[in-house]
Amino acid sequence: MAERSFAREVEDLKLGAGEVFRGEGILAITKALLQSGVSYVGGYQGSPISHLMDVLADAKDVLDELGVASAHVLGVSFGGALAQQMAVTHPGRVRRLVLVSTSFGGFAKPGDLRAFWHFIHPGSYHPVRLEKVAGSMFGGRMRTEPELVRSMHIRRPKNPWQAMYRMAPLFAWTSLPWLWTIRHPTLVVAGDDDPVTPHVNHRVMAALIPRARLYTVRGGGHMALIDSASEVGPVISSFLRGGSGAAPADGGLRAAASGQ
């Protein structure tokens, strides 16, 4: 396993029917997705991530250990970068690709500076303060229902430098030159009120990945997968079952392949 090991969490993900799973909300989502045949690659503020390729190695190792030859791969935020890399580095392990609230790294339009400051500043994570800044950090429903952030169990960085270190892998990485090489059926999901990963970046990915389609969550923010689950869930499920999962990429950007 890599430097920032998930050994204990991986063991928990192997629990079977009738066994009780205990863990953070994001891990519960991971467990549910695995049981549905989806390999989940997630990123969230405070997650113990240091090197992109280390996490990629862990993702492959987990599939090997679970005896999964190939899987649908869903990546959120930082995990979307890893999902893109996995589709290129280990294309045979990926069946369908879902990219949610993510980016292609370098050369992408940067997010809102206020959101970035709140992400790296430890003071933003005090329970009272977090509800006040949740809208600026995540956008979407967090602007009108900031109490939703209580269920996210976000880890506070010790200091801004630690937070910057956790984000460092994306500063020197970009998928832009090789997005065209991703041949998997791909669904790109984005909120149009995401201050972290602007909607235009998703439009670019949907345009450059040959078999990609874009689904836009109107009024959705960076956490659309969670705060708009009733809308996004059926779209992703339809796509993974072999449907389009979304209308062709909007705004003049087309979905290049009709066959799934």
Give the C-alpha separation, 34 to 29, whole Å: 9
Q: Give the three-class secondary structure for 167.
A: helix
Dig out the tokens for 259 from the structure.
């066959």
Pairing of strands 212-217, 38-42: unpaired
Q: Is 77 a catalytic residue?
A: yes
Bridge partners (DSSP) of residue 42 are 76
Pairing of strands 186-191, 212-217: parallel
Give the C-alpha separation, 213 to 256, whole Å: 8
Closest to 178 in 3D by CA, of 49, 84, 62: 84
The DSSP symbol for 23 reads -
In angstroms, how far is CA 89 from the centroid of its own chain?
18
Catalytic-role residue among 47, 77, 103, 228: 77
How many CB atoms sit inside 10 A of residue 36's CB? Answer: 11
Residues tagged active-site: 77
